[in-house]
Amino acid sequence: MFKLAEADKKWADEVWNRIDAKMRVVADRNKDIIPYTTGSDGRFIDCAKGEFPYDISWWTNGFWPGYMWLLYVGTGEAVYKEAAENAEDLLDAAFAEYDHLHHDVGFMWHISAGVNYRLTGNKKSRLRALYAADFLAARFNPEGDYVRSWNADSDTDGYHKLIIDSMMNIPMLYWAAEEHGDDRYKNMAIRHANTVMRTHLREDGTVHHIVEVDPKTGNAIMALGGQGYELGSTWARGQAWAIYGFTLSYIHTGDERYLMTAKKVANAFIACAAQSDWIVPLDFRQPEEPKIYDTTAAACAACGLIEIAKTCSEYDVKNYLNAALKLLRAMDEKAADYTTDNDNLLNYGTEAYYPGRGEAGRNTAIIYGDYYYTEAFYKLKGFEPLFW
């Protein structure tokens, strides 16, 4: 474990305290909802009562309870525990919408029910997390060696789409293997990680967002543009998913190939972020105008970089930790809102270069940006456990 410089430690403490002061108020007034973004009034919009696709089965619905658990571990404040547990109860309705579920059940239940069980021993939470893990395992294709990302309505000519985001969902399978004492779950996660490593990683250290694969072989058919600017561009959040996701697979398996992959993507991300003065755009190869940023990518990448730094020699620690700190300081100075006027913590999150919600999905509040920003400071404070 690295040791923060005194100035960095003081700053991290101050930011954590600002987050806590804001979120005690925000959590109390939102303890019966599951938010994704905010409305024009700065207040969270409830996905538990939303319309498809922004409804109870929306893929981000685990981030709010996970966010609350981070703050509960770091403060012991009961309001965070209450909000997390209430959101987890609301998520039960998503299990009934089977046709709308997807591989993102990892995002939805691993850091909500899974964390609740690990922190409190709640048996109902354990069953919820295991049910979600079994659902994820059922999506594993043994011929192609991957967990299917999207559902059949996204298939093209019989090919399946495999997305880089999936690397953040498979930690649920590593956990299920330990909880069940059944290595089949872990083997699925490993085989999936190997396939993604083979199909998504480019020579320059950047990654594709979406790759169509042959379900009979797992071989790549073609890459697609996805949520970035265009085919072959560098969608920043996709790079962040890869940095953190492969690092987590290394943590759970000890396989050095995953750490090497995470570092390769991290090195490319750091080089690009430095050129943009640590203000991360939605896509590192997008045009100069319009200005489209993505703090969700910066926050997630910072979490992955901190975990990489924990594995490194003193020289490499400085490389990865300093990059994480620069990303976080840039967000602290230019994107964070610590007032209680607005429910969101971070501004300037973006869903995609061409978002389905149009301008409403650009440079806006997104719950997983708030989650990862808070998780990064949770890590800097030295709190445990690792939620993933």
Residues recognised as catalytic: 104, 165
What does the alpha-carbon distance between residue 215 and residue 156 come to, in Å, rounded to a whole number? 11
Amino acid code (one letter) for 335 = A
Three state DSSP letters for 319-355: HHHHHHHHHHHHHHHHCECCCCCCCCCECCECCCCCC
155 is in an annotated binding site: no
Q: Among residues 235, 231, 211, which one has the least CA distance to residue 222? A: 211
Helix, strand or coil, per DSSP, at residue 222: strand
What does the alpha-carbon distance between residue 288 and residue 248 come to, in Å, rounded to a whole number? 33
237 is in an annotated binding site: yes
165 is in an annotated binding site: yes
10 Å Cβ neighbour count for 95? Answer: 17
145 is in an annotated binding site: no
What does the alpha-carbon distance between residue 307 and residue 200 come to, in Å, rounded to a whole number? 22
E strand or H helix at 40: none
Q: Among residues 123, 225, 224, 117, which one has the least CA distance to residue 175? A: 117
Annotated binding site for substrate: 104, 165, 237, 241
